[in-house]
Amino acid sequence: MSSEQPLLFLGLAGFTPEQRERLHLLLGQLPPGGAVWRVGTFAEADAWLVSGEKCRLVAADTLKILAGLPTERTVQLDLDEVDRPIAFSLPLSSDDFDPKHTFDLGVAASLSGVLRHFESWLRPLRSQFVLGGQLVARENELLPGIYHVSHRGQLLAVMDFHEWRIGILRKADPVDFELALWDRRPLEAHDIPSHFLRSNLTHLRWIYAQRTERDVLPARYRSKPVYFRHAPAVPMRWIRDSQLILLRELSQAAGDFDALLRRTGLTQAQLTRDLASLYFAGSITTTPDKAGAAAFTDGEDSLPGKSRNGPAQALPGAPAGPPTLPVRKHDLTAPAQLGRK
């Protein structure tokens, strides 16, 4: 039975080089079996760790985080708009700021406890990762129709392969999906309960391709020219800068794997992951006749979902894109709960 864990990304702000080194050391010492945490770009991260010493409460709902590196900029957060888990290192700069979640950089168990809270908040994302991995693994055996995914008599997901709609029980444990049964049902069983998180097949496969440590890129994409088809039907905030570079390059001219390495400057690992995500979104092809004619730009007209110029706090993962579904900021995580204790 698969127990694959998703890659989850931490954004760091305000930490000195020595503190960052300490955080990297602690992350490398986390016990096996849990989610795999890696430090990533602050704006693209799933959760944030912030230096409590560098925080300045400039208004009741506005927090300024001073730079901890010469190359780092000051970050200003509107606390009412933050929609991902966040914790602050001790000591705090002021008694006026009393966040709910803090940790001690000198105590490994303190950081581990915070990350367990993060993983709990990100449970819906982790469930989508598991379900996306199962879709990728079973794509050649699944028949058109309706599937109910259940475990111990509880309905976990409704999968409509006619409309490409998926509904997922928000409180489901990711482990339940690994143990679940898939039951093909009649078309009349397509209704998704109103309290389920709504998503679609493209979104789940994108989430899986972005967060798996496996190489899921089809072999032909390493040997044949790759062509641009259309922009991926995922929210704009899901698309990383490396993918924007790749999409622009492909919309200008096709290229094989080696050529794209040279043209984009990406590493092999990053290019493989980005191509896999675009493949599962139907945005690229190795068939010339399926190539798209329009050039790619990263404006609102090119990509579905929220504009990249929107709030930096938007957490990747809220359903959006065809088919039209409600966009809800809290679909992947609970509010960050920055209020006072």
Structural domains of the chain ordered from first start: 7-121 (3.40.50), 128-209 (no CATH), 216-290 (1.10.10)
Distance of CA 33 to the CA centre of its chain: 20
Helix (H, G, I), strand (E, B) or coil at 200: strand
Residue 237's pLDDT is what? 86
d(C-alpha 286, C-alpha 274), whole Å = 15
Confidence (pLDDT) at 305: 36
For 11, the token pair is: 């954004």
Residue 139, both tokens: 């794509």
Edge-first strand listing for the sheet containing 47-50: 36-39, 7-13, 47-50, 86-89, 102-103
Q: How much is the pLDDT for 321?
A: 29
| Closest of 334, 327, 315, 314 to residue 198, by C-alpha | 327
d(CA 308, CA 298): 8
Enter the DSSP assignment of 32: T
- pLDDT attached to residue 31: 83
User: What pLDDT score does 60 carry?
Assistant: 82
Low-confidence ranges of the chain (pLDDT < 70): 1-2, 294-295, 297-341
> Two tokens at 301?
């007209």
- Rounded Cα gap, residues 276 and 270, in angstroms: 10
Q: Please tell me the predicted confidence (pLDDT) of residue 298.
A: 60
CA distance 168 to 9: 23
How far apart, in Å, do the first and last CA atoms of the chain sit? 41
Structural contact between residues 308 and 298, judged by C-beta atoms closer than 8 angstroms: yes
